[in-house]
Amino acid sequence: MPSAARAQQNTMSSATDFTSVERYEAPNQQQVKTRLSGAEAWPLSGGLLEVKRFKLESFATNGRPEVIITAPQCVYDQVNGLASSPGHLQLQSGDGKLRVEGDGFLWRQNDSLLTISNRVHTVIENMPEMKPAP
């Protein structure tokens, strides 16, 4: 009987270079909408994954990067499409002109909603000068 327990433990091993991809619906089904990746992932109870060096990228239908989000660690719920962590997170727009960082986040894949909880800091660079309306 101990060998069955060991075999079961072996199926719960970690993975390196973890990646999960979501594609657009037709007619753009060949284009990647979001790519979630990590350097390592470990299964947790309840079907969750602990992901180290979390990275989430979103893309326009033409393949151009829109947003890149990184965090040292998060828990990813594959079934419900949620990623969360109490730790630090950095977000950068695809063109690099917008950067946001903070501590604690929840990302909901179904509606592409990111909530950053604490110590949020935003930097906007190279915005064109706005002229007052006449």
Q: Model confidence at 8, in pLDDT bands (50, 70, 90)? A: very low
Q: Report the pLDDT averaged over residues 109-123.
A: 92
Task: Give the CATH number of the domain where residue 48 resides.
Answer: 2.60.450.10
122 or 128: which leads in pLDDT: 122
Strand runs (DSSP E) across the chain, as ranges? 15-23, 32-43, 48-59, 65-77, 82-93, 98-108, 113-124
Residue 61 belongs to some domain of the structure? yes
**Range of 34's domain?**
15-124
Residue 131 belongs to some domain of the structure? no
Predicted pLDDT at 7: 30
Q: Report the pLDDT averaged over residues 90-97.
A: 94
Dihedral angle computed from the Cα positions of residues 25, 28, 48 and 74, in that order, rounded to the nearest 10 degrees: -130
Q: What is the pTM of this model?
A: 0.77
- Chain mean position to CA 21: 11
Number of structural domains (the chain) is 1
